[in-house]
Amino acid sequence: MAKIDTAFFDLSKLEEMANNDTVIHRIDPRIKVLVASMFVICVVSFHKYTISAILPFGLFLIIVMGLAEIPAFFLLKKIVLVSPFAIMVGIFNPLFDQQPIMVLGAITITGGWVSFVSILLRFGLCVGAVLVLIASTGFNTICLAMVKLGMPKIFAVQLLMLYRYIFVLIEEGLRMYQAMTLRTFHGRAIAMKTYMHLAGQLLLRTLDRAQRIHLAMLCRGFDGNIRIRQSLRMARLDIFFLAACFAILLLMRCYNIPAMFGRLITGIT
Amino acid sequence: MHMADALLSPAVGGTMWVATAGTIFYCSKKVKQDLDDRKIPLMGVLGAFIFAAQMINFTIPATGSSGHLGGGLLLAILLGPYAAFLTIASVLVVQALFFADGGLLALGCNIFNLGVFPCFIAYPFIYKPIAGTNPTPLRIGIGATLGAIIGLQLGAAGVVLQTVASGISELPLSAFISVMLPIHLAIGLVEGLVTAAVVSFIWKSRPELLDLTAAARPLGDISLTKVIATLGVVTVITGGALSWFASSSPDGLEWSMFKVSGHEELEAPEKGIHHTLAVLQEKTSFLPDYGFKAGEPEAEGLVETASWPAVDSGTTTSGLVGGLMTLALALSIGLLFRKRSKTA
């Protein structure tokens, strides 16, 4: 099936999740953006051979995900779908890095495999963090938060406009695509030449639409300035959440908690 | 060819973030200055257009693989570089958030690779001189194709350099670049042809649209060099500042955080509670010296030559055991949540 309708489905599904009302959803979006960024920075800053110390971050993500009531299967599917680039680049690590760093019984594990697993882990966590952020916050609210955090307003307007019309244009594209597939033989992909006409046609419609939107905006008193309704309020609980999350993240970053656990059990220091 | 968080080091990602954020601020200012207020809806809708058009794949003749519209150069031709940069950046933000293309940290790299190169290099230095003020279909075709190819080559080179500089992937620079560039040469050619076709389609059916954007564009060469110069300075400064942190750690480009928090600190306390507990553990643990004696000397000897100082099989084992436990804990908590949400 075409990529275009799954995209449509995903967008609406994520937006639908963002309309939920859970503990995580109620937190101020600025806090969530900051925590997600901190999470990613912490995960990415680990040494390339680190595996065990990264695992608690997965635990953190799962807890947040559970609290926000985001279905794990949906998230996993999305993560797997976008993984090819990271896997393709990472798979060369075992080839180039043959340095054995661990002997486990009869099996010698090379650094390449360890760093490959580490890459996969980082990938899953970083992508997961972004998806949890968007699924628990919603795009418009994130834009609002970013404006409050210092993003230029015109860029925020661009993002909001884009987001609004993505749905419209995907629908338009989908319609054209369907019309085309109905007139071609089954399963045949679009030829480049057809695509050029399709894209050109879609572009013309887009430009017409832009003109209509502009006129409509003028009719409603648009004077070149965009006003964004801002109604974010930081409660004391939000600050507490921020502090707690930062503390937990830094703790997990600074101490290899699984290794400490392991040491406690195996007694190897 | 979206860059991924997993392959980035914080120093490289942070540098690219700063460079990209700087460009966004600069372009926002520029767009605001020449506020032709038709552009605001136009930018939004064109971004959505790129989004939709990218999702329809087409077959590339004679190969059987599929390609899609690139967008950066097309936007620059229709909107001018500043507005185009903001538009492509916004598209990438949405893609990063909803489709997880790349990630938060990699967003800086992606916007830089797919935005700066087409808008500020391919468009003004390649497309514009070739297409000229009085474009013909041939000139548009050549300009757009060449521009798309070169823009994409630069972007691919950017991905390679960022990956190699991060040092998470083991791919050597030469091998990686010799794979990436030819692949993207082919993709660029296809993208260029499609861009050229779409632009000439517009030019044929609505020539006034191209003239309009060409006329409304206040692009002076001086301000462009200023952008690039500022960008360069910002990149060098932040790169320098971040790598200053990095150079204090033993592993070159790794962030200082590793040094602050790495194994040295964990292993350091020889006495005190930690030591007492360790002794206690030695006595009470149920897996004392779990058969790693044979492997240890070998591993130890090899580690001497390795670049990473803190590998010893003891730490690794406990890491492994503890890691598995964490994993189990994570899974069970996940399942617990799932169960609860089902009953709820």
Q: What is the pLDDT of residues A206-220, one digit of tens each?
A: 888 888 888 888 898
Q: Is the predicted pLDDT of residue A173 greater than 80, yes or no?
A: yes
What residue ranges define each of the domains in chain B, with the CATH number in brackets? 5-247 (1.10.1760.20), 268-343 (no CATH)
pLDDT band at B19 (very low <50, low <70, confident <90, very high): very high
| Contact indicator for B202, A206 with CB cutoff of 8 Å | no
Q: Is the predicted pLDDT of residue A269 greater than 70, yes or no?
A: no
Share of chain B above pLDDT 90, in %: 7
Q: What is the pLDDT of residues B290-322, one digit of tens each?
A: 334 444 444 443 444 444 444 455 556 666 677
* Residue carrying the six token digits 């609004």: A164
Name every chain B residue with its beta carbon within 8 A of the beta carbon of A249.
Answer: none
pLDDT at A188: 64
Name every chain B residue with its beta carbon within 8 A of the beta carbon of A10.
Answer: 98-99
The strand pairing partners of B58, in sequence order, are A190, B67
Q: What is the pLDDT of residues B160-191, one digit of tens each?
A: 888 888 888 887 888 888 888 888 888 888 88
pLDDT at B303: 40
pLDDT band at A187 (very low <50, low <70, confident <90, very high): low
pLDDT at B23: 92
Name every chain B residue with its beta carbon within 8 A of the beta carbon of A69.
Answer: 341
Q: Do B326 and A260 touch (CB under 8 A)?
A: no
Q: Do B89 and A155 touch (CB under 8 A)?
A: yes
pLDDT band at A222 (very low <50, low <70, confident <90, very high): confident
- What average pLDDT does the segment B63-72 reach? 65
pLDDT band at B35 (very low <50, low <70, confident <90, very high): low
Q: pTM of the entire structure?
A: 0.75
ipTM, interface predicted TM-score of the complex: 0.83
Q: Do A162 and B94 touch (CB under 8 A)?
A: yes
More confident call, B55 vs B80: B80
Q: Do A263 and B281 touch (CB under 8 A)?
A: yes
- What average pLDDT does the segment A30-54 reach? 88
Q: Is the predicted pLDDT of residue B289 greater than 80, yes or no?
A: no
Share of chain B above pLDDT 70, in %: 60
Q: What is the pLDDT of residues A73-97, one digit of tens each?
A: 888 888 887 787 778 878 888 888 8
pLDDT at A82: 78
Average pLDDT, chain B: 70
pLDDT at B261: 37
Q: Best interface-test mutation with A: which of B316, B332, B333, B338 has the largest number of A CBs within 10 A? A: B316
Angle at alpha carbon of residue A86, lines to A80 and A87, rounded to 5°: 75
Distance CA A111, CA A116 (A): 8
Q: Looking at CA atoms only, how far is residue B151 from chain A in angstroms?
A: 20
A positions 201-220 inside 8 Å of B (CB) = 202-204, 206-207, 209-211, 213-214, 217
